[in-house]
Chains A and B, each alone.
Chain A
């Protein structure tokens, strides 16, 4: 298919762009296969350069022959284009609609994007499972890499390489896979070096109504327990949902068959409930005329912060089991690709200092989200404005990022990255020139040949010039476990994302600049003092007479 077929009017003059907090600009609107561009005629500067895939919904209306298109983006921005001429406006609108909802992944921008920067490090090879495993293998020999899923045959949503207990062979893994939802047999998610406890994750056990059991499954997870120790299974569904799942062939670990494991149900919402929550929240934030009562009631009704609290609570519980109780845990919900990953990844943020560094966080996203098979393509297909709600759309990843932001706010010096980094990840998960978040799992990414055909987000992010923007000036390594507060009074609306387009942040940005200046100045002064001290000491030894005060 040629993009040209979809673009009936590639160019319109005298288009006026309206954005909140900016004066209106008049310019020429151009449509390309992947972008909507508006450049003002004065000095041919681009005022707007928008990826079609970032467009969530459009509205059009007419007053006489003047058409107006309102574009609502997946990053929650709303802009307005006034287009003279009804035909032009209709053409533009239908082109945008078609181009922003392309069916085929291979038509997406990442397959066409040619980087304008020199690739220093290929992000596709930055976080290989083998390297990640090396970090563990120095501390423990109880685990091994398994290639049982090399052809994606055992579990379609798992990567080719997973970490499993050394004592369990591939044959057993194949059997366990038949007993777990989606073939997602328990694998290692995190190894806590401090005490050797682990987080494992999986899909639900397929016990069904007649209490089916699987010896290999029991053996596998028991293999992770020390003699005489008990472990915890954290089920991210409420008990009744887990019980109902048995009717559909699913279920949960029965005490009788897993006597060494205690099961805790920690309910975390999924799917459309989350999507609706997001829609309501964004709607509340966009309404500028709400009085106080209406704002607060809408904020409450969105339930967004309730979900944040739920997720953080479950993650803290998991971290607590590991660090305080000295117990290993297995986490799953139904499929083990949404709430499960929120909990395992956040628990690592709490427990593991490395995951709070930039590279460590990237590795975490690579391991716990991309390789672990979170279906980004489905979940992030649409955002808060789209009318056609599909049940597989859900802001699971955004909720995770929001939770990280909440912890970052409470421990502002313990993270190497800043809020900007989290926002960039949110943006790229929904619309990007990079291939990283395309596809739903490694198997799909492999088939799409993303490594060969697209650029990795990490190749761009990890360049020094970009990294400096994402670096937290306050960072100082903190090797402790960090326990966030989950009280409602301690949680806040993530303004940087949800109010980003609804208010000016000029004064806050300036204050941030000033803070950076103070820190930079401090470093400079310290360096200078050190140089002077050295100079003085040299002079003193030359003199042979130390300065007596």
Chain B
């Protein structure tokens, strides 16, 4: 709390992000230890978690006050006008401090308390069990076994303790190979395709320089291809552009020389590095945040940002991987430089194409735990959880989510979860509200004692499952129903609901999705009602047959009374559980839509209707 000097400022204005006029909402701004809260005149609350703040900017003083622009990692942008400069300055300074913590222990997760007891907390962490997942894949088996080589993180600090390797790969071979790989990240199994008996393996780049070789590494790769009884050759996918990989040779790193490895087919797939991705997103946000954006500027900006090109590259790589397994029955080894960014993208997306389990809610959690969290994707650095090197920040995981979103668009029935699920996960990789994404590898997480001190996100998402279900999901598909997405450029679209999640005026005013989702729920309720009614009717009838003689007599004499009829009609109307909220029409104000600069034509000012949504914390606070 030492950073907070002003906890409450009144008469603060929020400007509409896209309005060219000065449309605004007035309300009160509160600063708490964890959130910035704005309550407008209609008592609508906007919560902004400090950890979500990507940047705070104080603009030049205007006649109405001091502007404060806050950009969030979930792409919310809020433009406050604080009447007094001193207040603005205080808040600005506080937010600078609060949004960038120096120590893990100061992150929200360490103070967040959802009122669970210790055993609930532990159970939550045990919900996703990777040992179970490898078992599901059919491991261990005759070709693959669990290796204890990294049990104490001795060989590779950024790998998990438990790793699957070919049975014929001995410990010396593993140790030897790890010394020949960047950061000791030697080839291990990421996914095993039971049907094809082929594996997806992952590692980092070899330290080959211009000519170095390592027999153990060559042996390990050979062991991987031998572990596939069907196909003797394996693919080695270097997910980097060839030029980058070649440049790495000068630093004693590089890529596999096909001459030194028997039975490998080497392939570059050309996904750009974290720095390119970071600036690409930066450009995309600049474009989409422009006021009075024209269609042409939007598309030329979209093009020059390169963002969709990068998304397509990741998708194409995953498709290449899935095809190698499905069509050629070949095992694939994937790496990039360190094997924790592009490699995670390609391995996880490839598995998701191959195995329908990963398209379920639980399966998707498992996939993230396995290929991202356990294999050491550096969430804390990539998401900038702590005040660190801004050059380490990159939207690598967000790109993975975006690829999945594109798949849900092409295959609307293949996923158990919906877009909201992806958005929620994206929200929480930055929120630091749960322990899952804190830290950069398993070893670090253990040292932080996250399982004792923080809570796991997954049980909370599962509890709220209803919100994340895809109403059109068809679960009939077989486990190995493979998705074959079409990556023609026109299939890639700007993900409006991600980058403009909080700019409600840009969204469709009626959501088919919500309606169908609610209808599905309603159908379940109706089915129950029918059962109830049927059993009640049965009871009645049974009762009646007891006294059937007298009743029948009465019935024939007395036809239905008119009063009864009307009451029935009345009943019917009120009992119908038609949910009005389903069909609420929004957007009944033209002022929401920036049709253009004709505002001066009209004298009347529109009531402001900026809708600011609740912040992330609301779900569990």
Contacts and interface: CB of A to CB of B under 8 A. Distances in A.
B and A form one assembly: yes
Given A264-B601, A535-B537, A525 B527 contact: yes
B536 interface: yes
Nearest to B303: A296
Interface string B517-532: 0011011001101100
Contacts of B494: 489
Contacts of A414: 510, 585
Contact of A515 (B516, B592, B601): B516
Interface string A476-515: 1010111111111111110100010011100110110011
Interface in B269-318: 288, 293-300, 302-303, 306, 308-309, 312
Contacts of B575: 529-530, 533
Nearest to B500: A489
A547 to B, nearest CB: 6
Contact of B18 (A487, A522, A538): A487
B598 A317 contact: yes
Contacts of B506: 485, 487, 489-490
Contact of B515 (A262, A295, A474, A488): A474
B406 to A, nearest CB: 12
A292 B295 contact: no
Interface string B547-580: 0000100110000110010011001100110000
Contact of B509 (A292, A295, A482): A482
Chain A facing B: main interface SS? helix
A526 interface: yes
A288 B489 CA distance: 8
A518 B471 CA distance: 9
A483 B587 CA distance: 6
Contacts of A324: 590, 602, 604, 606
Given A410-B509, A478-B585, A489-B506, A532 B530 contact: yes
B490 A493 contact: yes
Interface in A253-269: 262, 264, 266
A522 B523 contact: yes
B309 A293 contact: yes
Contact of B510 (A296, A413, A495): A413
B584 to A, nearest CB: 10
A287 B302 CA distance: 19
Nearest to A289: B488
B115 interface: no
A345 to B, nearest CB: 17
B460 interface: no
Contacts of A94: none
B480 interface: no
Interface residues of A, number: 85
Contact of A490 (B308, B496, B564): B496
Contacts of B306: 292-293
A526 B576 contact: yes
A384 B595 CA distance: 29
Contacts of B511: 412
A308 to B, nearest CB: 8
Given A292-B308, A539-B537, A300 B571 contact: no
A543 interface: yes
Contacts of B590: 316, 319-320, 323-324, 483
A305 B488 contact: no
A533 B572 contact: yes
Nearest to A323: B590
Nearest to B603: A325
Given A412-B510, A485-B587, A518-B520, A508 B412 contact: yes
Nearest to B474: A514
A219 interface: no
Interface string A153-164: 000000000000
B593 A522 contact: no
Contacts of A490: 496, 506-508
B593 A502 contact: no
A528 interface: yes
Interface string A302-318: 01011011000100110
Nearest to A511: B412
Contacts of A482: 509, 585, 587-588
Contacts of B296: 300, 303, 306
A491 B293 CA distance: 12
A528 B575 CA distance: 13
B260 interface: no
A534 interface: yes
Interface in B460-517: 471-472, 474, 486, 488-494, 496, 499-500, 505-512, 515-516
Contacts of A488: 293-295, 297-299
B30 to A, nearest CB: 31
B596 A313 contact: yes
Contacts of B527: 525
A540 B412 contact: no
A411 B564 contact: no
B534 A532 contact: yes
B303 A325 contact: no
B618 interface: no
Contacts of B515: 413, 474
Contacts of B507: 485, 490
A491 B295 CA distance: 9
A483 to B, nearest CB: 5
A536 interface: yes
Nearest to A288: B488
Given A300-B299, A485-B587, A536-B533, A522 B526 contact: yes
A519 interface: yes
Q: Which of B472, B490, B499 has the largest count of A CB atoms less than 10 A from its CB?
A: B490
A300 B583 CA distance: 35
Interface in A385-404: none
A26 to B, nearest CB: 28
B523 A521 contact: yes
A411 to B, nearest CB: 5
A171 interface: no
B540 interface: yes
B534 A539 contact: no
Nearest to B540: A539
Nearest to B297: A488
A299 B299 contact: yes
A45 interface: no
A313 B303 CA distance: 25
Contact of A526 (B492, B526, B585): B526
B360 interface: no
A290 B551 contact: no
B412 A507 contact: yes
B413 interface: yes
Given A478-B585, A483-B587, A489-B298, A411 B526 contact: no
Interface in B588-614: 588-590, 592-596, 598, 601-602, 604, 606
B544 interface: yes
Contacts of B593: 316, 483-487
B410 interface: yes
Given A297-B299, A316-B590, 5 more contacts: A288-B488, A306-B295, A495-B490, A507-B412, A511-B412
23 contacts: A285-B490, A290-B488, A293-B306, A294-B489, A305-B295, A320-B590, A325-B602, A410-B508, A413-B510, A483-B592, A487-B593, A488-B295, A489-B496, A490-B506, A502-B490, A511-B412, A518-B472, A521-B523, A530-B576, A532-B533, A534-B572, A537-B564, A543-B544
Lowest 10 A-B CB distances belong to which pairs? A295-B489, A300-B299, A488-B298, A511-B412, A296-B303, A532-B533, A525-B526, A292-B309, A539-B540, A306-B295
Interface of B: 18, 288, 293-300, 302-303, 306, 308-309, 312, 410-414, 471-472, 474, 486, 488-494, 496, 499-500, 505-512, 515-516, 519-520, 522-523, 526-527, 529-530, 533-534, 536-537, 540-541, 543-544, 551, 554-555, 560-561, 564, 567-568, 571-572, 575-576, 583, 585, 587-590, 592-596, 598, 601-602, 604, 606
